[in-house]
């Protein structure tokens, strides 16, 4: 496994949202722990859709249409500038209809009491679509309502506003940090992040730098990279894409996610303790 992966070796290319039959981006090996050079931020483009694209309004607001209306948050509104007291987590997959909504809504349900805001978006989002029925069934079984959710296209601003970015695959991480370099040290494939925080000590979280719970956990996780052996292949860290596939694949997605999600939720809760 290479430890000198450079996400900037190939010039970023603009892309249209994913077609329904488009496959996942090609995989390549890299070191998910590597510290890579950060370049200066740039105006939000590349990943961004026009501001009137469906699903962009109220990125960091509750996924509740009535609440959004009450707060004056609609499509094309400005980003919520007020920081969340617990921090912000952004979840990224491709279409933002299967994996990332499932992760997003599970985390939001578990972490809301800690003042943590969770959102999600797609690198090639089916913007404006609801959650895929396969993921809806899994969320319903967990007692989590997904009816207000709508898919959003990922933007550079979303990444830079988050304290932690969790991606469904390592390929998604590469795509994120290539377009939003300032997200480099806070962006992880979800399974890799779970490995990093699995044995993190509460005192290490408490003493880590950061403005909120999530950013301190990210700092504590980053300090453990030399202690945790990264999974050797991308396939060992990637969550299967169940889009347009049968219920068996959605159950496989759930099985792959449940352990890492439990680990991350436990670690976040530990970071909230005195």
Residues tagged active-site? 93, 99, 199
Run of H or E including 119: strand 116-122
DSSP 153: B
Which two structure tokens, joined as six digits, stand for 11? 């010039």
Cβ 93 vs Cβ 104: under 8 Å? no
Cβ 192 vs Cβ 32: under 8 Å? yes
Taking the CB of residue 59, how many other CB atoms lie within 10 A of it? Answer: 23
CA distances from 192 to 23, 47, 120, 263 (A): 22, 24, 18, 11
What does the buried/exposed string (b/e) look like for 7-16 if buried means 16 or more CB atoms within 10 Å of the residue's CB? beeeeeeeee
Give the residue carrying structure tokens 């496994």.
Answer: 1
SS3 190: helix
What sign does the CA torsion over 101, 124, 20, 50 have?
Answer: positive
Q: 123: Cβ–Cβ under 8 A, 6 or more apart, which residues?
A: 18, 47, 92, 93, 94, 154, 172, 175, 176
């Amino acid at each position: 496994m290479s430890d000198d992966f450079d996400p900037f070796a190939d010039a970023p290319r603009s892309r249209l949202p994913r077609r329904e039959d488009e496959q996942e981006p090609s995989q390549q090996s890299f070191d998910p722990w590597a510290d890579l050079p950060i370049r200066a931020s740039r105006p939000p483009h590349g990943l961004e859709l026009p501001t009137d694209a469906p699903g962009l309004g109220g990125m960091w607001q509750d996924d509740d249409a009535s609440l959004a209306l009450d707060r004056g948050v609609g499509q094309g509104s400005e980003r919520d500038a007020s920081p969340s007291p617990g921090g912000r987590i952004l979840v990224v997959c491709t279409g933002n209809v299967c994996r990332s909504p499932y992760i997003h809504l599970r985390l939001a349900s578990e972490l809301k009491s800690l003042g943590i805001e969770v959102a999600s978006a797609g690198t090639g989002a089916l913007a404006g679509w609801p959650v895929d029925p396969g993921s809806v069934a899994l969320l319903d079984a967990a007692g989590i309502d997904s009816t207000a959710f709508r898919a959003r296209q990922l933007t550079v601003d979303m990444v830079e506003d988050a304290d932690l970015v969790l991606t469904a695959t390592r390929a998604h991480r590469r795509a994120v940090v290539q377009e939003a370099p300032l997200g480099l040290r806070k962006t992880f494939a979800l399974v890799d992040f779970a490995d990093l925080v699995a044995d993190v000590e509460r005192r290490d979280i408490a003493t880590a730098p950061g403005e909120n719970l999530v950013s301190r956990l990210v700092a504590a996780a980053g300090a453990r990279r030399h202690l945790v052996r990264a999974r050797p292949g991308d396939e060992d860290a990637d969550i299967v894409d169940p889009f347009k596939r049968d219920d068996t694949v959605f159950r496989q997605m759930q099985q792959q996610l449940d352990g890492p999600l439990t680990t991350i939720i436990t670690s976040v809760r530990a970071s909230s303790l005195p």
